[in-house]
Amino acid sequence: MTQSPLNPGDSPLVREALSSVVSRETAPSAPVAASIGYTSGMSEGDWPRPPRRRIITIANQKGGVGKTTTAVNLAAGLSMHGQRVLVVDLDPQGNASTALSVEHRGDIPSVYQVLVEDLPLKEIVSPVPDMPNLYCAPATIGLAGAEIELVSLVAREARLKRALEAYDANELDYILIDCPPSLGLLTVNAMVAAEEVMIPIQCEYYALEGVSQLLQNVELVRVHLNQVLRVSTILLTMYDGRTRLASQVADEVRSHFGDTVLNTVIPRSVRVSEAPSYGQSVLTYDAGSSGAMAYMDAARELAFRGATVAGS
Ligand code: ADP
Ligand code: MG
């Protein structure tokens, strides 16, 4: 855990990008930080609110790349800095709902009823416990059936978009949509409803597998269904500094996607994987951990980028 994430052969770009991870690995824990007056992202005030509400779909048809973890922790980080955030859980597994401690037993109304039965979104949105400014629209397992049931419905690709439009979202700054690991109708609904796509890419073997297909789908949706859609953000996740592979993947992703990739890289951190079982984000579970600090930095980058690029 204490080993440097940098390898001697890393390119200058990767070294620069990852230097913040190095400093984070050696950052003091939260109680120690407080006692010595160490300043991390947690102690800042509010971040600038976007000129217009941002709707960001977090998609990658590969499972286990960090979509849900990213949705939950970015949402938590943004909300802790004065942003009003709604997480829409679009995965029948309901992992985002679990991590945010929002009820999603099979028998409660969820995104399923919103998409298939036209239930107003406001009927299912719940405040996240102990997190002012943060809300969640939960998913239940019944949503698995929606992929098929949507096929025969009118405007089947635009059901979520319509639900969001009908929702009084003036109160919100961000809507983050957590997608299932597929490119089916649920993910298409998420892409039609959003202006931005964020792609988490795991710094592992086959990281880029499927990404070109994902980009093709984004392009198809843009051409046929939603002209304003663009891939605005790529986030490197689960970076393991002990492996050369991770830095090679990071390098490759940056050379492909340039500025779209956030400078912040999310390290692999046990705390990140533990937090959901306590119904918490890692930011509340262990604010001083490397994973929490990285997600806070990523949220800050997202907020400050949005302050300049939104509407462009
Ligand atoms: P997806 O939503 O893309 O399927 P998840 O966010 O659920 O992916 O992540 C898959 C698994 O990896 C989960 O068990 C999660 O807790 C774990 N995980 C995600 N990010 C990290 C990280 N930075 N460090 C350690 N474990 C992580
Ligand atoms: Mg998930």
What pLDDT digit, counting tens, does each position of 261-307 carry? 999 999 999 999 999 999 999 999 999 999 999 999 999 999 999 76
Cβ–ligand 1 distance for 277 under 6 Å, the answer no
The count of structural domains within the chain is 1
**CATH number of the domain encompassing residue 35:** 3.40.50.300
What pLDDT score does 171 carry?
83
Strand arrangement, sheet containing 85-89: 126-127, 134-137, 85-89, 174-178, 54-58, 196-202, 230-239, 261-267
Residue 12 in any domain: the answer is no
Residue 235 in any domain: the answer is yes
Cβ–ligand 1 distance for 83 under 6 Å, the answer no
From the CA of 273, give the closest atom in ligand 1.
16
Helix (H, G, I), strand (E, B) or coil at 156: helix
| Residue whose CA lies nearest to ligand 1 atom number 17 | 273
What pLDDT score does 307 carry?
61
Helix (H, G, I), strand (E, B) or coil at 73: helix
Residue 22 in any domain: the answer is no
Residue 17 in any domain: the answer is no
Residue 3 in any domain: the answer is no
Residue 163 in any domain: the answer is yes
Cβ–ligand 1 distance for 64 under 6 Å, the answer yes
Residue 108 in any domain: the answer is yes
For the CA atoms of the chain, what is the radius of gyration? Answer: 19
From the CA of 70, give the closest atom in ligand 1.
6
Cβ–ligand 1 distance for 201 under 6 Å, the answer no
Residue 199 in any domain: the answer is yes
Average pLDDT over residues 147-153: 91
What pLDDT score does 9 carry?
40
Domain that holds residue 242: 30-309
Largest CA distance in the chain: 61
Closest CA to 295 of 276, 274, 257, 269: 269
Other CB atoms within 10 A of residue 12 CB: 7
